[in-house]
Chains A and B, each alone.
Chain A
Amino acid sequence: MNAVAEGVPVRLEGVTKRFGAVLAVDSVDLHVPPGKLVTLLGPSGCGKTTTLRLVAGLERPTAGRVWIADEDVTDLPAARRGVTMVFQSYALFPHLTVFENVAYGLRVQRLPAAEVRRRVMEALELVGLPETAERYPAQLSGGQQQRVALARALVMQPRVLLFDEPLSNLDAKLRRRVRAEIRMLQQRLGITSLYVTHDQAEALALSDVVVVMNQGRVEQVGIPEEVYRRPRTRFVADFIGEANLLPATFWEGAVEVASYRFPVEQEEVRDGPVTVMVRPEAVVVSQDASGLPGVVRTVFFMGMTTELLVDTPAGEVLATQPYRADRRIVPGEQVRLRFEPAGVYLLPAEDGRG
């Protein structure tokens, strides 16, 4: 179980799912490369779970095909797709012990008792819970339950592993730890994984590839850094991390926000009106002569950083500043804002959706 095997790819082609009048998934194309972890990220109700269930075989697409390992599995029932799933609610069987929960799938396959025992204990060791084997799920903590659910999925040696917001019932600290464990195991075992979450931090931290969804459609696909740095739409910019979206004009390699003009190096931008996305941490607040003028409205102390809300002629700007004891900014202060190029990206103006 601990050897890295070559995983299998998963592909969705024009997959659409309707529930009556609701269009839950709208012609989604998706590719999960072998052995990689891809997250589906998006707001509540955007169709992430439905997409996952279409891959699992728990739902059947209204249109489109699903491929696993280059094989069309659209008509194949869930039980025969070689896929397992970790549920948001864990879905541990309350009437079975931890051991029996993990052994369930193996027993369904009628494997010999000795092999069942060996594989179950192996899986429980993998998630660090061998001593809980004889307990019932209700006697475990949330984090332990989640790891049992993971063991139950891993023991099947699935070709594809699906996660539906597996961490959403855990507290923030635990979430971080289990997240790291999931990532480590997934990489070690090389299992192709599709992971649903609405938490952008989780998606950025975990994934090889992030798929941002909105209203049943795919907005953008990319590695975490790319979707963070170079969002293609307003929606993506806004949904992933904090973003200031300011109206501006672009010409001759530079962009002008209100009276502040600065150079931007970005391919394929046409001259004319654009929307500038500026990450709050890329905003530099100073008393210099140059920059976008503004008046500080509010100041939030956040520990190592300070968040400022600044009113400018281009609109409200959120800025995150490293905390400095010697320099306190107070509401009402006149400041100048400059934007660092690493945190600036130009989007088409008035992008319809988002």
Chain B
Amino acid sequence: MARAVALPQTRWAAQPAVAAWAAATVLAAAALPWGRAGRDLGSWLWDSTGVVLASGSLLAAGVLLASFAVLLAGLWPAPERTRGVALAAFGACGMALSGLLLGVRGTPTGPAGVLAPLGFLTLTGFGLSSSGRWFVDPFLSAAVLWAAAFVALFILLPLASVVVASVWVDGRFTLEVVHRTLTSPAFLALDHPGTPHNELAVAAAVGLAVAVGTLVLGWYLRWSRRSLPAGGAAGLAAAALASLYLGFGAFRNSLLLAVVVGAVSTALGFAFALLSERSQLPTRRLLGTLSALPIITPPFVLGIAMLYLFGRRGFVTYRLLGVSTDVFFGPLGVAVAQVLAYTPIAYLVLVGVVRALDASLEEAAQTLGASPWHLVRTVIWPLARPGLANAFLLVAIESLADFANPIVVGGGKPFLATEVFFAIVGRYNPHEAATYGAVLLALTLTVFVFQQRWLGGAFYVTVTGRPTGARPQPLPLWLDWALSAVFVVWMVVVVLLYGSVFVGAVTRLWGFDYTFTLRHLQDLHPQGWQVLRTTVQLSAYAAVPSVVVGFLIGYLVNRVDFPGRRALEFSSMLSFATPGTVMGIGYVLAFNQGPLLLTGTELVIVLAFVFRNMPVAIRAAVAALEQIDRSLEEASTMLRAGASTTLRRVVAPLARSALLSGLVFAFVRAMTAVSQVIFLITPQHNLATTQILSYLEYGSQGRGAALASVLTLLLVTVVASLQALSRRLDPRTAQLGAG
């Protein structure tokens, strides 16, 4: 039997993918409409097909020509490199011409306007791959271009629109809105004109006092060289904090809140991490539940609960203590709600830190009889500092971005995230909203860049099973008891809060009439159920693309070498660090007119979800890929599989557990999203979270509580079944082991 020798194809004999894409591109460009009549995605204008347009428009004719050129290049029997160059060139031309055509027409885009550019882009990728310029699989080179296009269109463009909208008013550049907004007392007032004293002067005095105090202390402790800079830094920090504390306005409120909540949550998170690693008391077992809380808590749940317990007719304040108070309306209430919501995040970050501490402490204890102070200074502090800073910054970002708590319990005080909303919804001023958005964006980006650069830390915390290893040294008993007591108090508050929402769902009128009723649940019919169904539907639609796109980007960034790789990674993570309200207003500004008109459709909500939650999948992908030996992929390549086959048949099955949890978290995050979609919803497709908000706005707290309870239960079920499922999946993968 003679061996059938598979000859390589330097002549491009069979490239069915290229031919198919080229044919589809021609078809789309020629026979499908380029325009829509209005917002409705189905309102295709059949008199705007390429064939029709070509007679009147040079651009349309150019696009058609480019599509035919691409098809010819795909079928032309020339050497591979030549064809590759031709394909890439014609594809790029086609892209540019299609873009121009859409821009010049300026009307909403029809199917051809989506499919033709996508086809050109893909063929450009195929062309680049075979031109020999770029040694990468055709599928991957197309995927890089897709990823870049998606990220540019759905992350960078909305963010850029926010910045532009703040300085581009009525068709010209002006700093007037920015200036007016930033100097308004609603934004920031360090010295309130209504008070008799000068707050700035007070802050300066505080700073001076602290600086002098530090200098004296330094002199007393003989710090010599370091006392002057230390005094200066302490004084400045104290002055800044004091003026923050004494000041007014949205900027001050948000920043102060972020600092305080960051510090408190980090401290609590550290205490709980210590407990979970080193406590001997039974309360330790409850800590696992703690870590899942922020994921499954829909927004407004804590806010409603705060009203129920500590509001003017709150159960604790009014019923038990007999006071009718507003103290929990405003920054204090928001702070409490945020601390409850974000402490688990800090806890998850710090568990790892405490674990690392344990190992090195044991070593240190074994090697030298160091004094405790020396140990703290040389081992504990350097090790714990990055983790603590990381936890603080993560919580600070969350706090800055938070929209739900300030709007419910903020007591009407301005915060950056809510001002974006009110500027649009209340004052109808998108430029002012954009200014607030840009400030908020700048603030979170600074924190994000700082966190990525200096701490290189994961921006995410994922729920992981705790490995059962040797138990490190237990805590001293008094500390164990003290921390456990704090934890128990925390737990009681959390249970009370969550419980009050569930009870509130079946209580006639909280604060006045505590009799049992099912009326609120019945009242969810039909509107509430309808909204819940839409929410589940849209979240489910969004979950799969989030994971596919996220996984692809994760793969590209982790495994493929291409120019702009870091930029792609950073931009795709950006959508996670950006506060939802900013992303939301970005979508409104970017997709509200012209060829990109999408607002008012379900698609824009789904897209917002997809690109908002994609980073979750990126992280999951990267973590999974780190476990997969590259030689498996190379083996697949050597067996003549293309990259898409390798991804489908080798990588995806090996990463299925990560893919699954990515899928579930993308779904859950979409279900609980509020700030980024609040501007995008319409009466026809309202979402559960925004529906809760409107129930609250119209005073139907009972109905809000009912919907929030149902949503919470739904999410608990989803997450619990994920955990059961991944337990079923995991032993198998473990048993099969690595190749």
Contact = CB atoms under 8 A, between A and B. Distances in A.
Interface stretch (A88-96, A217-225, A333-341): A88-96
Nearest to B637: A78
Nearest to A59: B135
Name the interface size band of chain A.
35 or more
Contact of B8 (A82, A92, A105, A137): A82
7 contacts: A73-B10, A77-B135, A91-B629, A91-B631, A95-B654, A108-B639, A108-B641
Contacts of A73: 8, 10
Contacts of A159: 5-6
Nearest to A191: B3
Given A77-B137, A94-B654, A108-B640, A3 B736 contact: no
Contacts of B135: 60, 75, 77
Contacts of A138: 735-737
A266 interface: no
Interface string B611-646: 000000000000000000101101111111110010
Nearest to B656: A95
B650 interface: yes
Given A79-B637, A87-B634, A94 B739 contact: yes
Contacts of A83: 638
Contact of B5 (A5, A79, A105): A5
A80 interface: yes
B738 A94 contact: yes
B499 to A, nearest CB: 45
A1 B632 contact: no
B629 A89 contact: yes
A213 interface: no
Contacts of B132: 75
A105 B641 contact: yes
A75 B79 CA distance: 12
Nearest to A58: B634
A60 B136 CA distance: 10
A152 interface: yes
A2 interface: yes
Contacts of B632: 91, 93
Interface residues of B, number: 39
A104 B4 contact: no
Given A105-B639, A108-B645, 16 more contacts: A3-B3, A76-B10, A78-B638, A82-B5, A82-B6, A82-B7, A82-B8, A92-B739, A94-B654, A95-B733, A104-B639, A108-B640, A108-B641, A152-B635, A152-B639, A156-B639
Contacts of A94: 654, 736-739
A78 B638 CA distance: 6
Interface string A89-113: 1111111000000001100110000
A81 interface: yes
B304 to A, nearest CB: 46
Interface string A55-90: 010101000000011011101111111111101111
B3 to A, nearest CB: 4
Contacts of A109: 640
Q: Which of A73, A78, A92, A156 is the most central at the interface, judged by chain B CB atoms within 10 Å of its CB?
A: A78
B294 to A, nearest CB: 33
Contacts of A95: 653-654, 733, 736
Nearest to B134: A60
A262 interface: no
A136 interface: yes
Contacts of B733: 95
A306 interface: no
A59 to B, nearest CB: 8
A14 B629 CA distance: 31
B435 to A, nearest CB: 44
Contacts of A91: 629, 631-632, 634-635, 739
B1 A80 contact: no
Nearest to B7: A82
A186 interface: no
Given A75-B132, A79-B641, A68 B739 contact: no
Interface in B100-155: 129, 132, 135, 137
B81 A75 contact: yes
Interface string B225-259: 00000000000000000000000000000000000
Interface string B664-706: 0000000000000000000000000000000000000000000
Interface in B51-90: 80-81
Contacts of B642: 79
B320 interface: no
A254 B218 CA distance: 84
Contact of A84 (B1, B638, B653): B638
A136 B739 CA distance: 10
Contacts of A58: 634, 637-638
A189 B1 CA distance: 11
A56 B638 contact: yes
Contacts of A104: 636, 639, 641, 649
Contacts of A88: 631
In the A-B complex, the 9 residue pairs with the smallest Cβ-Cβ separation, listed nearest first, are A105-B639, A91-B635, A75-B132, A60-B135, A91-B631, A138-B737, A5-B3, A92-B739, A79-B640
B9 interface: yes
A259 B153 CA distance: 84
Nearest to A89: B631
A80 B132 CA distance: 14
A187 interface: no
B739 A137 contact: yes
Contacts of A60: 135
B8 A71 contact: yes
A137 to B, nearest CB: 6
Contacts of B739: 89-94, 137
Given A87-B634, A104-B636, A93 B8 contact: no
A345 B629 CA distance: 45
Given A89-B631, A157-B6, A80 B736 contact: no
Contacts of A5: 2-3, 5
A87 B635 CA distance: 8
B207 to A, nearest CB: 49
A78 B137 CA distance: 9
A1 B2 CA distance: 7
A3 B4 CA distance: 11
A84 B639 contact: yes
Contacts of B2: 3, 5
A186 to B, nearest CB: 14
Contact of B736 (A79, A87, A105, A136): A136
Interface in B186-210: none
Contacts of B735: 138
B463 to A, nearest CB: 24
A69 B4 CA distance: 15
B583 to A, nearest CB: 37
Contacts of A92: 635, 739
B129 to A, nearest CB: 8
Interface string A1-30: 111010010000000000000000000000
Contacts of B641: 79, 104-105, 108
Contacts of A153: 638
Nearest to B636: A104
Contacts of B80: 75
Contacts of B10: 71-73, 76
Nearest to B132: A75
A1 B631 contact: no
Contacts of B6: 82, 156-157, 159
A202 B522 CA distance: 80
A189 B631 CA distance: 26
Nearest to A189: B3
Contacts of A136: 736
Interface in A121-141: 136-138
Interface string B256-268: 0000000000000
Nearest to B650: A93
B636 A1 contact: no
